[in-house]
Amino acid sequence: MKADVAVLDYGSGNLRSVVRAVERGGASVVLTADFETAARADGLVVPGVGAYAECMRGLRAVQGDRIVGRRLAGARPVLGICVGMQAMFGQGIEHGMVSEGCAEWPGTVERLEADVIPHMGWNTVEAPTGSQMFAGIDDERFYFAHSYGVRAWELRAEPPFPSPQVTWTTYGPDRFVSAVENGPLWATQFHPEKSGDAGAALLRNWLGQL
Amino acid sequence: MPIVGYVSLAVRVIPCLDVHAGRVVKGVNFVDLRDAGDPVEMARVYDAEGADELTFLDITASSDARETTREVVSRTAEQVFIPLTVGGGVRTPADVNTLLRAGADKVGINTGAIDRPEVIAEISSRFGCQVLVLSVDARRSSSQPSGFEVTTHGGRRSADMDAVEWVRRAAALGIGEVLLNSMDADGTKDGFDLELISAARAATGVPIIASGGAGEAKHFAQAVDAGADAVLAASVFHFGELTVGDVKQALRDAGHTVR
């Protein structure tokens, strides 16, 4: 039985590649903004590109924050990608303006500091021991295209709850969160759907959880 | 000199496919087009060779043929899971949306931005600057302060703008990258215009993709030493003179990080 995955359709960008990459991983995929479809699917992918404030506006317009909240309350898997990951944090700051995120995790999305911005291209990641997301994926690079990131991981889980697994990437003088595994909520700052075979392996690891 | 702080990010090697009526072509200095194959098939080959990204340049004039190009983009995005940039004839945010919906990750803009620079801010505010690649066809000219001017129509006309100043201005308006094509070097196979790359590097903090003049594997490392973040070529790849792997090995030998 194939897992059924909903890709949340709430704005612009290349959603076709997300849909195709998840299909290639062996799932049955629907691109939708329908609340019930997105809330009930075995897995939900929240993509996102562009400005934080604009993305949050689009996400709220389809009640994406509520869909995510309802799913997580029932331990139903969600995968955020790029700004779809950033949206899970508390807030984003762009040009001095603060926008509220979904606040599933505390933390702030800020502009990266490096001589060359955006951070564009294939970079390495430092995944923690025991990561399920990166299981079987060693010494691979992933494709990034972003100017903002999260520099500090602030959520501390107390036993018996397992600690979130946080993956980091270094770019120039900056270091930021490049992936998170926190119970049913997973997210990547990079684009697994654009990261060739390494990205495909990561998506299969996620689908394996559904 | 390589920038030590950035060794973690790989230099991107990007084959460019000039697409006309659904087929790949590459002209010598953009004239006398020669057919070099099916774009989807070539995209798959380049992906398998280790290309980090692909660029399609739609050189078609008519709107019917543009529809054909969109189909090519869609078919490519169905099969190839690396970033795809599509340029050619982009003038409005609606054009960008159409290409992103078809399966492009990034969109190149050239004459459309020269004619109306504000469109850069319109596109980046709606889709984010990371989708927008400013393509600049630059040529040496003593009439501009930097020594380089912007050209249009495949280098046949001067836009009467300083190329380096244009890059600086466009970056302020909101582009994600610059595709810097030397019209002097293009087709010569004598190497990239390193002075052009250096001048643009000094002017902007957005990633620079060097283009035009690649003939040998060693040329690519020279472009990166001059300040390029990525290197792009067409005919040396299409006609089998170099593979993506050859270029990556040469970059690695020169001390640069590659995927």
Domain that residue A35 falls in: 4-208
Percentage of chain A modeled with pLDDT above 90: 91
> How many CB pairs lie under 8 A apart between chains A and B?
120
Nearest chain B residue to A51 by CA distance is: B128
* pLDDT tens track for B24-41: 886 443 334 445 578 888
Say what the alpha-carbon torsion angle A28, A33, A39, A44 is, to the nearest 10 degrees: 50
Which among B123, B58, B67 is positioned nearest to B92, based on CA atoms?
A: B123
CA distance B32 to chain A (A): 33
Tell if the CB–CB gap between B177 and A143 is shorter than 8 Å.
no
CA distance A105 to chain B (A): 24
3-state percent helix, strand, coil for chain B, nearest multiple of 5? 40, 25, 35
* pLDDT tens track for B50-102: 999 999 999 886 677 778 889 999 999 999 999 999 999 999 999 999 999 99
Question: Residues with Cβ < 8 Å from B81, sequence gap 6 or more?
Answer: A17, A20, A21, A24, A193, A194, A195, A196, A199, A200, B47
DSSP letter string, A16-49:
HHHHHHHHHTT-EEEEE--HHHHHHSSEEEE---
Over range A162-167, report the average pLDDT. Answer: 93
Which among A97, A78, A80 is positioned nearest to A89, based on CA atoms?
A: A80
Residue B105: list chain A partners with CB under 8 A: 14, 17, 145, 191, 194
Tell if the CB–CB gap between B8 and A13 is shorter than 8 Å.
no
Q: What is the largest CA-CA distance in chain A?
A: 49
Tell if the CB–CB gap between A143 and B125 is shorter than 8 Å.
no
What are the b/e assignments for B204-229, b being 16+ CB within 10 Å?
A: bebbbbbbbbbbbbebbbbbbbbbbb
DSSP letter string, A68-88:
HHHHHHTT--EEEETHHHHTT
Instruction: Please check whether residue B202 touches A, CB under 8 A.
Output: no
User: Considering chain A, what is the average pLDDT of its residues?
Assistant: 96
Cα(B258)–Cα(B6) distance, integer angstroms:
12
Question: Residues with Cβ < 8 Å from A148, sequence gap 6 or more?
Answer: A52, A86, A92, A94, A109, A110, A111, A112
Residue pair B40/B19 in contact (Cβ under 8 Å)? The answer is no
Phi, psi of A9 (to 5 degrees): -100, 95
**Residue B80 structure tokens:** 């190839």
Provide the number of structural domains found in chain A: 1
Instruction: Please check whether residue B95 touches A, CB under 8 A.
Output: no
Residue A51: list chain B partners with CB under 8 A: 125, 128
Q: What is the pLDDT of residue B26?
A: 62
* pLDDT tens track for A87-104: 999 999 999 999 999 999
Instruction: Please check whether residue B77 touches A, CB under 8 A.
Output: yes
What SS3 string covers B182-213? ECCCCCCCCCCCHHHHHHHHHHCCCCEEEECC
Tell if the CB–CB gap between A50 and B10 is shorter than 8 Å.
no
CA distance A150 to chain B (A): 18
Tell if the CB–CB gap between B259 and A14 is shorter than 8 Å.
no
What are the b/e assignments for A124-143, b being 16+ CB within 10 Å?
A: bbebeeebebbeebeebbbb
Instruction: Please check whether residue B78 touches A, CB under 8 A.
Output: yes
The answer to whether residue A73 scores a pLDDT higher than 60 is yes
Amino acid at A74: G
Tell if the CB–CB gap between B6 and A14 is shorter than 8 Å.
no
Residue pair B120/A138 in contact (Cβ under 8 Å)? The answer is no
Substitution target from B9, B84, B177 for chain A, most A beta carbons within 10 A: B9
Nearest chain B residue to A192 by CA distance is: B81
Residue A124: list chain B partners with CB under 8 A: 8
Tell if the CB–CB gap between B206 and A123 is shorter than 8 Å.
no
Instruction: Please check whether residue B131 touches A, CB under 8 A.
Output: yes
Over range A126-153, report the average pLDDT. Answer: 96
Q: E-strand spans in chain A?
A: 4-8, 28-32, 43-46, 78-81, 89-94, 97-100, 105-111, 119-123, 142-146, 148-150, 165-171, 174-182, 185-188
| Number of other residues whose CB lies within 10 A of the CB of residue B63 | 8
Using CB atoms within 10 A of its CB, is residue A100 exposed (0-12), middle (13-18) or buried (19+)?
middle
* pLDDT tens track for A101-126: 999 999 999 999 999 999 999 999 99
Residue with the two structure tokens 């990547």:
A188
In this prediction the pTM is: 0.95
CA distance A135 to chain B (A): 20
Residue pair B109/B135 in contact (Cβ under 8 Å)? The answer is yes
Percentage of chain A modeled with pLDDT above 70: 100
Question: Residues with Cβ < 8 Å from B191, sequence gap 6 or more?
Answer: B185, B213, B214, B215, B216, B219, B222
* pLDDT tens track for A27-43: 999 999 999 999 999 99
Using CB atoms within 10 A of its CB, is residue B55 exposed (0-12), middle (13-18) or buried (19+)?
buried
Phi, psi of B255 (to 5 degrees): 95, 10
Residue A143: list chain B partners with CB under 8 A: 82-83
Give me the tens of pLDDT residue by residue for chain B, a chain 259 residues long: 334 444 589 999 999 998 888 888 864 433 344 455 788 888 998 999 999 999 999 988 667 777 888 999 999 999 999 999 999 999 999 999 999 999 999 999 999 999 999 999 999 999 999 999 999 999 999 999 999 999 998 889 999 999 999 999 999 999 999 999 999 999 999 999 999 999 999 999 999 999 999 999 999 999 999 999 999 999 898 888 899 999 999 999 999 999 9
**Residue A176 structure tokens:** 């930021």
Tell if the CB–CB gap between A194 and B259 is shorter than 8 Å.
no
Instruction: Please check whether residue B120 touches A, CB under 8 A.
Output: no
Instruction: Please check whether residue B240 touches A, CB under 8 A.
Output: no
Q: Give the CATH number, domain containing residue A169.
A: 3.40.50.880
Cα(B109)–Cα(B88) distance, integer angstroms:
7
Instruction: Please check whether residue B70 touches A, CB under 8 A.
Output: no
Residue A117: list chain B partners with CB under 8 A: 205-206
Radius of gyration of chain A (CA): 16
CA distance A121 to chain B (A): 7
**Residue B258 structure tokens:** 């590659």
Q: Compute the residue count for chain A.
A: 210
